[in-house]
């Protein structure tokens, strides 16, 4: 009977573990609280199931789409690790990870952007880390390239081609380094003013296709914000879309169009 109960308990525990994920942020306390974006799964059901600060469960109102983790009980420069236990079908987002000073030995040594290349150097990478290049587009940071970190204690240099990445005018970039334990460290934001011409298009009332003034990355969204067409080119065929209002994202601009 005891064996049957133990097996049942273990199976229950495994089921719980398999249906959960974890987001980890580590560093040192710098006097500010952490804010979390918590996706809704409907009917008062939210992504995060538990919050731990230094492996101690905290009483936290997690039944909302955003919440604050109060760290005021800590002393300045105290080590802190925050763990967000969440359901497997979603993932919460820590909105201000930079307010916790990293406890990692990792550093960004340089970061530069030109018309053709993006280069940066780092020191103190851990094995199995990763680098994510982010571009500020349409009022949010968008990942545009991911590559494995080289690892090791020596200085590592990176160089990627960005000739088809820049939009017209001022571009903003940053590098996100993710350690194997989930800790995230950001580079400084670098701005680069591109000389590529601004993209124009026609028509705004479309029968079959949209023509751009030059080849560019684009995305067409319906009135509800759902992506219906995405790619790179000079012509966008939307002849198979129903009539109505659409939005064209191109060259860091959002334009309203109407499909006849």
* In the chain, where the domains are located: 2-99, 107-194, 201-259
What fold characterizes domain 201-259? Immunoglobulin-like (2.60.40)
Identify whether the C-beta of residue 257 lies closer than 8 Å to the C-beta of residue 204.
Answer: yes
> In this structure, what are the phi and psi dihedrals at residue 233, rounded to the nearest 5 degrees?
165, -165
Residue 235: which of 253, 250, 259, 215 has the closest Cα?
215
pLDDT per residue as tens, the chain (260 positions): 444 433 343 333 333 333 468 999 888 888 899 999 999 988 889 999 999 999 999 977 888 999 999 999 998 878 899 999 999 899 999 999 888 876 678 899 999 999 999 999 999 998 899 999 999 999 999 999 999 999 988 899 999 999 999 999 999 999 999 888 777 888 999 999 999 999 999 999 999 999 999 999 999 999 999 999 999 999 999 999 999 999 999 999 999 999 99
Residue 72: which of 34, 101, 38, 26 has the closest Cα?
34
Q: What is the pTM of this model?
A: 0.64
For residue 79, the model assigns a pLDDT of 85
Residue 35: which of 120, 93, 74 has the closest Cα?
93
Pick the CATH number of 107-194 from 2.60.40.770, 3.20.20.150, 3.40.309.10, 3.40.50.2000: 2.60.40.770
Identical fold, 107-194 and 201-259: yes
In a 13 Å sphere around the CA of 34, the CA atoms on its Cβ side amount to 28
């Amino acid at each position: 009977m005891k064996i049957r109960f133990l097996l049942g308990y273990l199976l229950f525990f495994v089921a719980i573990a398999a249906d959960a994920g974890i987001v980890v942020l580590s560093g040192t306390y710098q006097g500010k609280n952490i804010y979390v974006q918590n996706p809704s799964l409907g009917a008062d059901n939210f992504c995060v199931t538990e919050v731990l600060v230094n492996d101690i469960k905290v009483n936290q109102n997690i039944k909302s789409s955003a919440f604050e983790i109060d760290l005021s009980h800590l002393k300045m420069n105290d080590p802190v690790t925050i763990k967000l236990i969440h359901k497997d079908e979603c993932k919460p987002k820590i909105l201000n990870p930079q307010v916790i000073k990293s406890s990692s030995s990792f550093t960004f040594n340089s970061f530069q952007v030109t018309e053709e290349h993006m280069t940066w150097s780092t020191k103190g990478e851990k094995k199995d880390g990763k680098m994510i290049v982010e571009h500020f587009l349409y009022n949010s940071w968008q990942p545009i390239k991911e590559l494995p970190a080289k690892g090791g204690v020596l200085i590592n240099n990176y160089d990627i081609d960005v000739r088809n990445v820049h939009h017209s005018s001022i571009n903003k970039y940053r590098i996100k380094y993710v350690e194997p334990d989930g800790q995230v460290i950001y580079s400084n934001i670098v701005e680069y003013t591109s000389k590529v011409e601004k993209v124009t298009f026609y028509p705004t009332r479309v029968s079959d296709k949209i023509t751009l003034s030059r080849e560019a990355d684009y995305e067409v969204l319906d009135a509800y914000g759902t992506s219906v067409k995405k790619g790179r080119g000079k012509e966008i065929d939307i002849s198979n879309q129903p009539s109505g209002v659409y939005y064209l994202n191109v060259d860091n601009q959002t334009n309203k169009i109407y499909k006849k």
